[in-house]
């Protein structure tokens, strides 16, 4: 039975997490206070990190194990989780060693993971850690689990001490002089990040933001770090991946419509399909030929896709775009208010274990093998002349600025808030300075 003091502590932590603006640092940006409000059996730490070339989670686990484990224990207390499962890849031996050495909570158990993509997908991790399958379109909570990225847990620990999220841990890697991982104030420009890594080693380059597989592309050095930026990967502008990723949707559809031979490799390698969910990208590709009517029938096979990119960037022998077809299918169905109900029970495919995608194989297929190297943590003194704090860095509603142009602000001060009762998170100044400009998207602060 739960005592009144425990309930009070839970409420206090939720309030601190909300006020500190803690959101999922692994990419989704879901407000963590909502997860802390839940009651579950398992608290799962996600240290799987499987985006090629990015190594920031391995570094944060190696250098901040005490803080991460304290954050995990705090989440276990709040959610009443009896068991903590810490997913971490066996290849990160130094991180595991640091975590084991720092762990004082006997209810936390380490779950060794192989070096496959995408071991960090929530559906995949929940299954590996607990043997439970999340119901189709469901969330970990449906099977008694809460999952948080390791950096989020670090932020949970800081929030418990009243410290808001003002810095982001990230890797700068790829075609740079010195790949490394470091803390950067939220709102720092990519230009400043790149300078910390000694600059690009090629004159004409582009950037993958937060990952090649699930991140976005950018050719804009004025873009800034948010609470969900996992890192930047610099690659030559004429790299095969930019050619693939920068096609227009019309072009992707036109090529897909004429060249897809329905070999179904995209489906056979799909991690969600292999877990037993009715995701079939090869069928979604058929929708490209049904532009006036019938598309939605094929698009239903996209609904449980997690956009991992395996089908487009690894499986398809024709270099087509099944993932993008699934993205479009999901959007169209949402717009039409259609919901897919899985017909068959979810049953793990007998070939699942044999069809996993090793990272080394994936790097080869992506033609980035030559850029694979460590990105060791370095304490850098990054003092940007200005930062741009984006008002939407999280799932839910965008924050609205609560400061005025010309106003002086201190690091850690709230500069944007979400309306009371709405899902979202406040955003904070990441440096001391003066508010230079406020737009609908951001608050700019000069040091």
Q: If binding means CB under 6 A, how many residues of this protein chain bind ligand SF4?
A: 28
Strand pairing report for 180-185 and 167-174: antiparallel
In angstroms, the CA 135 to CA 123 distance is: 9
Residue 326 as a binder of ligand SF4 (CB under 6 A): the answer is yes
Residue 126 as a binder of ligand SF4 (CB under 6 A): the answer is no
In angstroms, the CA 387 to CA 368 distance is: 31
**For ligand SF4, which is the closer residue by CB, 73 or 312?**
312
In angstroms, the CA 182 to CA 28 distance is: 21
Span interacting with ligand SF4, options 25-33, 316-324, 350-358, 424-432, rule CB under 6 A? 316-324
Packing angle, helices 56-63 and 93-102, rounded to 10: 30
Span interacting with ligand SF4, options 34-42, 154-162, 281-289, 433-441, rule CB under 6 A? 281-289
The binder of ligand SF4 chosen from 45, 125, 173, 305 (CB under 6 A): 305
**For ligand SF4, which is the closer residue by CB, 58 or 325?**
325
Contacts for 339 with CB less than 8 Å, ≥ 6 apart: 137, 303, 333
Give CA angle at 388 (385, 390), nearest 5°. Answer: 165
Which CA distances in Å does 339 have to 29, 104, 306, 307, 342? 24, 45, 16, 18, 10
Which CA distances in Å does 301 have to 43, 228, 260? 31, 29, 16
Q: Rg of the chain over CA atoms, in angstroms?
A: 22
Residue 308 as a binder of ligand SF4 (CB under 6 A): the answer is yes
Task: Provide the minimum distance between the beta carbon of 259 and ligand SF4 in the complex, in angstroms, as a whole number.
Answer: 7
Task: Provide the minimum distance between the beta carbon of 271 and ligand SF4 in the complex, in angstroms, as a whole number.
Answer: 6
Task: Provide the minimum distance between the beta carbon of 430 and ligand SF4 in the complex, in angstroms, as a whole number.
Answer: 33
**For ligand SF4, which is the closer residue by CB, 75 or 310?**
310
DSSP string, 399-431: PEE-S-TT-EE-TT-EEEEPPTTSS---EE-SS
Per the structure block, which two tokens stand in for 45? 């730490």
Rounded to the nearest angstrom, the gap between the alpha carbon of residue 71 and the centroid of all alpha carbons in its chain is 18
In angstroms, the CA 52 to CA 31 distance is: 26
In angstroms, the CA 287 to CA 343 distance is: 20
Residue 366 as a binder of ligand SF4 (CB under 6 A): the answer is no
Site for ligand SF4 in 129-188 (CB under 6 A): none
The answer to whether the beta carbons of residues 99 and 68 sit under 8 Å apart is: yes
Span interacting with ligand SF4, options 78-86, 123-131, 162-170, 306-314, rule CB under 6 A? 306-314
**For ligand SF4, which is the closer residue by CB, 192 or 324?**
324
Site for ligand SF4 in 215-274 (CB under 6 A): 260-266, 270-272
Task: Provide the minimum distance between the beta carbon of 294 and ligand SF4 in the complex, in angstroms, as a whole number.
Answer: 18
Task: Provide the minimum distance between the beta carbon of 304 and ligand SF4 in the complex, in angstroms, as a whole number.
Answer: 8
E strand map for 328-399 = 357-358, 386-390
The binder of ligand SF4 chosen from 126, 310, 387, 435 (CB under 6 A): 310
Task: Provide the minimum distance between the beta carbon of 16 and ligand SF4 in the complex, in angstroms, as a whole number.
Answer: 35
The binder of ligand SF4 chosen from 307, 342, 397, 413 (CB under 6 A): 307
Residue 285 as a binder of ligand SF4 (CB under 6 A): the answer is yes
**For ligand SF4, which is the closer residue by CB, 99 or 366?**
366
**For ligand SF4, which is the closer residue by CB, 230 or 322?**
322
Residues that bind ligand SF4 (CB under 6 A): 260-266, 270-272, 279, 281-282, 285, 305-311, 315-316, 318, 320, 322-323, 326
């Amino acid at each position: 039975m739960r005592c009144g003091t425990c309930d009070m502590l839970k409420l206090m932590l939720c309030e601190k997490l909300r006020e500190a603006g803690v959101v999922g640092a692994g990419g989704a940006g879901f407000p963590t206070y909502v997860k802390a409000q839940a009651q579950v059996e398992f608290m799962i730490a996600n240290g799987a990190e499987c985006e090629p070339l990015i190594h920031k989670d391995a570094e944060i686990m190696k250098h901040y194990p005490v803080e991460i484990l304290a954050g995990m224990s705090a989440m276990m207390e709040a959610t009443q989780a009896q068991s903590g499962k810490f997913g971490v890849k066996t290849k990160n031996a130094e991180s595991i060693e640091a975590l084991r050495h720092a762990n004082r909570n006997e209810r936390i158990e380490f779950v060794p993971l192989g070096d496959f993509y995408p071991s960090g997908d929530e559906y995949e991790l929940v299954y590996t850690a607990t043997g439970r399958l999340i119901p189709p379109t469901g969330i970990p909570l449906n099977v008694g689990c809460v999952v948080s990225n390791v950096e989020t847990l670090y932020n949970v620990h800081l929030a418990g001490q009243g410290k808001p999220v003002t810095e982001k841990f990230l890797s700068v890697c790829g075609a740079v002089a010195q790949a490394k991982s470091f803390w950067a104030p939220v709102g720092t420009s990519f230009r400043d990040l790149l300078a910390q890594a000694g600059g690009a080693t090629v004159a004409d380059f582009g950037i993958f933001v937060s990952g090649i597989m699930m991140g976005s592309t950018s050719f804009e050095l004025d873009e800034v770090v948010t609470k969900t930026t996992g890192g930047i990967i610099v690659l030559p502008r004429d790299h095969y991946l930019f050619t693939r990723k920068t096609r227009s949707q019309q072009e992707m559809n036109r090529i897909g419509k004429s060249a897809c031979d329905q070999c179904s490799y995209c489906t056979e390698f799909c991690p969600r399909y292999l877990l037993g969910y009715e995701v079939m990208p090869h069928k979604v590709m058929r929708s490209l030929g049904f532009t006036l009517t019938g598309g939605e029938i094929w698009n239903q096979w996209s609904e449980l896709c997690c956009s991992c990119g395996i089908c487009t960037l690894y499986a398809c022998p024709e270099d087509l775009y099944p993932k993008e077809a699934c993205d479009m299918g999901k959007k169209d169905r949402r717009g039409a208010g259609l919901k897919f109900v899985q017909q068959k029970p979810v049953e793990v495919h007998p070939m699942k274990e044999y069809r996993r995608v090793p990272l080394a194989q994936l790097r080869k297929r992506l033609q980035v093998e030559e850029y694979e190297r460590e990105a060791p943590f370095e304490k850098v003194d990054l003092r940007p002349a200005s930062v741009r704090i984006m008002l939407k860095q999280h799932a839910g509603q965008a924050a609205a600025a609560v400061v005025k142009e010309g106003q002086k602000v201190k690091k850690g001060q709230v500069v944007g808030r979400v309306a009371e009762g709405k899902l979202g998170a406040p955003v904070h100044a990441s440096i001391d300075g003066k508010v230079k400009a406020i737009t609908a998207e951001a608050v700019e602060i000069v040091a």
